[in-house]
Structures are given as structure tokens and as C-alpha cells.
Structure 1
Amino acid sequence: MIAELQQAVAKYAHALDELNVPELEAVLTEDTTWTFTMPGQGVLGPVAGRAAVLDFVRDGHTVQTGRVRHHLANVVVSTTDATTAEVRAYLVQTRNTGESIQMISTGVYTFGLRRSDGGWRIAELTLTLDNAF
């Protein structure tokens, strides 16, 4: 079960970075919520519902420059029961412009996952950034 949960959050990061909307849609519940906390800027969200989250992701991709990657590390899984789990992971976010590579931000993700017929899906995503960018 732990490997399945780790795979779900890894699929999220890959789909997000590649703007692979079908894959991202497949790893989110219909009622997913995303909430972000940034130092000096407070709380953004929640962005509620899969359609709203996908619009949020598309909008974010239109303004980014270079190739952005979300690197997840120190992944810790806590299962609540057979159908819900929490996964925490550190984030290092980088940008490669082709001329330079820079670290954009670091932070902590908390994913609330729910098991469905299609496997584990992200029902709740909270990201607390260590810095504003």
C-alpha cells in the first residue's frame, strides 16, 4: 500500500510538470481541494473541485518560464484506514531556462488521499512554502 501511495504523489508531480491534464485528472478526486501558504502572502485557496484545480494548473503554466520541476523527497506515509491516507513530502522546486538552473522554492506538501475504483487519488493537497517567489 505504501508504494501505491508514493506512486500516486509521484504521478501528480510528473503530470503537473508536464501539464499532462489526463494524468493529473486521473490522480485527483472530483472534489479535490488545494490550499497553499506562502510567507508574507498568507493562504491561497482552497481551490475546490477537480475542474477548478485543472484551470488553476493551466493558468500557472501559461505564466511560468523555463522548465519547472517539483522534486518530492523524504516521503512519509500514514494510513488512516483502508480507504484514506496521508502522505507528507518535502518540496524542492527548480526552474531550468536552458541558460541557468535555479531553485525557486522549498516547502512541505501534505496530501490527503482516498482510495477509489481507480486506485489512490488526491482528495486534499496542502502546500506550505518556506519562501515567497
Structure 2
Amino acid sequence: MIAELQQAVANYAHALDELNVPELEAVLTEDTTWTFTIPGQGVLGPVAGRAAVLDFIRAGHTAQTGRVRHHLGNVVVTKTDAATAEVRACLVQTRNTGESIRIISTGVYTFGLRRPDGWRIAELALTLDNAF
């Protein structure tokens, strides 16, 4: 079960970086909610519902410059039962412009997953260490 949960989180990060909408749809529940805590800005969100989250992601991709990657590490399953789980992961977000590569943010993700027909992200909370 742990490997399946880690795979779901990794699939999210890859799909996010590639703007792979079908894969994002496959890894998010229909009623998914996202919240973000950013130093100096407080809590943003929640962004509620898969359609709203996908619109949020598309807008982010449109606004970004260079190639952004979400590197997840220290992925730990903190709670689990037959139908739900919580996974925490550290984030290092990078941007590659072709001329330079830089770290743009770090933080901690907390994913709440449900198992309707495979593990899907029902809740995502990201606490950033810095504003970007």
C-alpha cells in the first residue's frame, strides 16, 4: 500500500510539471481541495473541485517562464486505513530557463488520499517556506 501511495504522489508531480491533464484528472478526486500557506500572504484557497484545480494549474502554467519542476523528497505515509491515507513530502521547486537553473521555493506538502478506485488526492495542502 505504501508504494501505491508514493506512486500516486509521484504521478501528481510529473503530471503537474508536464501539464498532463488526463493524468491529473486520474490522480485527483472530483471534489479535491487545495490550500496553500505562503509566508507574508497567509492561507490561499481553498481551490475546490477538480475543474477549478485544473483551471488553477493551467493559469499557473500560462504565467510561468522556463521549465518548472516539483521535486518531492522524504515522502512518508503518516496515516492509513483501507480507504484513506495521509502522505507528507518535502518540496523543492526549480525553474530552468535554458540559461540558468534556480530554486524558486521549498516547502512541505500534505496529501489526503482516498481510494474510490485507486489512490487519488482528495486534499492537498502546501506550506511554503518562502514567498516566490
TM-score (norm. length: structure 2): 0.99
Alignment partner, residue 35 of structure 1: 35
Alignment partner, residue 120 of structure 2: 121
4+ runs of 1 displaced by more than 6 Å? Answer: none
Alignment RMSD, CA only? 0.6
Q: Distance in 2 between matches of 1:113 and 1:73?
A: 18
Matches within 5 A, 1:21-100: 21-100=21-100
Q: Distance in 1 between matches of 2:30 and 2:46?
A: 14
Unaligned ranges ≥5, structure 1: none
1:87-130 Cα deviation digits (max 9, x unpaired): 0000000000000000000000000000012x100000000000
1:25-60 Cα deviation digits (max 9, x unpaired): 100000000000000011110000000000000000
Q: Distance in 2 between matches of 1:78 and 1:44?
A: 24
Alignment partner, residue 130 of structure 1: 129
Alignment partner, residue 110 of structure 2: 110
Query: Which amino acid letter does the alignment assign opposite residue 29 of structure 1?
Result: T
Q: Distance in 1 between matches of 2:130 and 2:116?
A: 34
Q: Secondary structure at the match of 2:40?
A: coil
